[in-house]
Each structure stands twice: as structure tokens, then as C-alpha cells.
Amino acid sequence: MEENRATQNSIPTSTAYWVDGNDIIIKTSLNWDIFADANNGVGNKTEEIVNRYIWDFIIDDKTRRWLSGFFKRVREDKKPVIIPYRCDTPALKRYMQMTISVESEDILMVKHRVIKTVPMQKPVHFRASISEKSIKRCSVCNRILIDNDWLEPEKSMIGEYVSVRYGVCEQCESLT
């Protein structure tokens, strides 16, 4: 397996975790903790996630069903899938790629790779919320729903600190 080994002074451009047939995380790549630290991944260190269900780390049902559909497809077809997505920081748009593949038997490897980063026009800090009054944000493309339109966060009139509830927009849902 190709793995991006990083020093403490650099952020890995890829990282991975493995899940068993029950969707329990069984291990992470060697650079997982470096990536978690670099991204303020509180509660996401290897020792905190191994032996837990992957679904414990996904806030909403729609995103769980979306990812579960890919897990099911890869397990049945025995062919990897590559899914483009965004995982932004307040200052950067991060275009990423998730590759889900069968490692052995029921074991899936889920690899995340940064494709490119682009500075945000204005920083946006999102806080997860379950309130129906919160703005809806797509877990895949990171766009937000404003007046029935899915918009880039920095192109909307939202403030710098925004409460959001997560889901999957129709365009991203069609990827499954």
C-alpha cells in the first residue's frame, strides 16, 4: 500500500482507515494522527476511533446511508470506487478523493487523498447542529442550501460563524 509518510512539520496528503464486515474501524494508516492533529481532529486519534463503528463519527442519517451504499457496492462488486468530495478548513477549500476498496475478505480500506487546495475568499467556520433552523450543508460537496439553491459557502451572505446541519444534496446523492 502506498502511504504518504509525513514529518511532524508537514501535513499528509493522504490517510486511510480500515473497517471490518461490521463497519468497525480496525486500524488506521501510520500518518492518521498527524493528519488529525493538523486538522484539529479532537476525538479522532487512532486510539479514540479504533474498535468503534464508523457510523459513530457521522452526524446525520442521510450521510450514513450515502456512505453505507458505497460500502455495500464495493463489498458486492469487489471493485473499488473513487468518490470526489470536499473537506474544507475555515480558510481553504480542500478538494479530496475517497477510494473505497476491498482489502481482504470483509475488510474495506477507505483512503482519503487531498487533490488540491484553494484559499477561501472569506473564512467560514461551521458548527454542527441538529436544529431545523440551522443552514443545511452537504457532507460531500460542502455547499449550503439557501432559498432552495445549493451555494458555495463563501459566495453566500452567511457570516463567518455558521451553525449547520448535515445531509447530502441531490447532486451528490446521485453519485451512489
User: How does strand 125-128 pair with strand 161-167?
Assistant: parallel
Q: Evaluate if residue 131 carries a pLDDT over 90.
A: no
Domain count, the chain: 1
| Average pLDDT over every residue of 146-168 | 83
Query: Is residue 71 domain-resident?
Result: yes
Q: Evaluate if residue 9 carries a pLDDT over 80.
A: no
- What is the per-residue pLDDT for 7? 35
Query: Is residue 63 domain-resident?
Result: yes
- Residue 139 is part of which domain span? 14-170
| Average pLDDT over every residue of 105-110 | 93
Query: Is residue 43 domain-resident?
Result: yes
| Average pLDDT over every residue of 110-135 | 88
Query: Is residue 2 domain-resident?
Result: no
Query: Is residue 156 domain-resident?
Result: yes
- What is the per-residue pLDDT for 21? 96
- What is the per-residue pLDDT for 158? 67
| Average pLDDT over every residue of 142-163 | 82
Query: Is residue 118 domain-resident?
Result: yes
CA–CA distance, 29 with 175 (Å, rounded to integer): 26
- What is the per-residue pLDDT for 41? 67
For 91, list phi and psi in degrees, rounded to 5.
-105, -15
Q: Evaluate if residue 1 carries a pLDDT over 50.
A: no
Asked if residue 122 lies in contact with residue 153, where contact means CB atoms within 8 angstroms, the answer is no
- What is the per-residue pLDDT for 133? 83
CATH of the domain at 20: 3.30.450.20
More confident residue, 12 or 30: 30
Query: Is residue 80 domain-resident?
Result: yes
Query: Is residue 60 domain-resident?
Result: yes
Q: Evaluate if residue 3 carries a pLDDT over 80.
A: no
